[in-house]
Amino acid sequence: MPDVLLYPTGGGTGLLGIPKGYEELRAMGWLAGALPRVFAVQADGCAPVVKAFREGAPTTTAWENPTTHAAGLRVPSPFAGRQMLRVLRETGGGAVAVSETAIQDAQRLVARLEGIWTAPESAALVAALRVLKGRGDVVRDTEVTMIFTGAGLKYEPPPLPSPVDLAGSEEELLAQVRRVIRP
């Protein structure tokens, strides 16, 4: 059983299904121990769960003017707000908002390290892990599960760098190729 579970959170059905699944597996004797600390991850341009959690509110309120490239996180009024907040609090978890830049950086990191172009909703988890590590919620031996919910193929591809100029020397050409490969 992981210590921490990160889930990209929009409307809340996926987040609510996680503890339910754990409880059912525990009731069948297939799992033992406490539930992991569950953390909802949202984009900072649409973070009603994060806002309500930070304020200690019993439920979420509608987010004004939601903005994020991650369509699955652009849910300004999640229908399961009260239930999500209960899960986060009961498991000792929390809620994290990450910037669009952090999400894009995480997408590139996952692509470079794992060869996977992931959806921004999933990349937000990697960005959130950095935040949680920075504030001490995740330490060296913490076992973390991140549930990646989609591939990035359904999104517009990122802009390509400027074309490579083939007229230069071999060294200049290699330097340009390196800039394209490692932006």
- pLDDT tens digits, 159-183: 656 666 667 778 887 887 777 666 5
| Contact in structure between 147 and 182 (CB atoms under 8 Å) | no
- Rounded Cα gap, residues 29 and 19, in angstroms: 15
Tens-digit pLDDT profile for residues 112-163: 899 889 999 999 999 999 999 999 999 999 999 999 998 887 777 666 566 6
Domain ranges across the chain: 4-181
Residue 33 identity: G
CA distances from 45 to 49, 51, 69, 75, 148 (A): 12, 11, 9, 10, 20
- pLDDT at position 164: 60
The architecture (CATH level 2) of 4-181 comes to: 3-Layer(aba) Sandwich (3.40)
- Give exposure, 34-51, as e/b (b: 16+ Cβ within 10 Å): ebbbbbbbbbbbbbbbbe
Percent of the chain with pLDDT over 70: 92
Q: How many C-beta atoms lie closer than 10 Å to residue 10's C-beta?
A: 25
DSSP class per residue in 140-152: TT--EEE----BG
Tens-digit pLDDT profile for residues 17-45: 998 999 999 999 999 888 999 999 999 99
Sequence-distant contacts of 22-27: CB under 8 A, at least 24 apart: none
| Contact in structure between 163 and 180 (CB atoms under 8 Å) | no
- pLDDT at position 148: 93
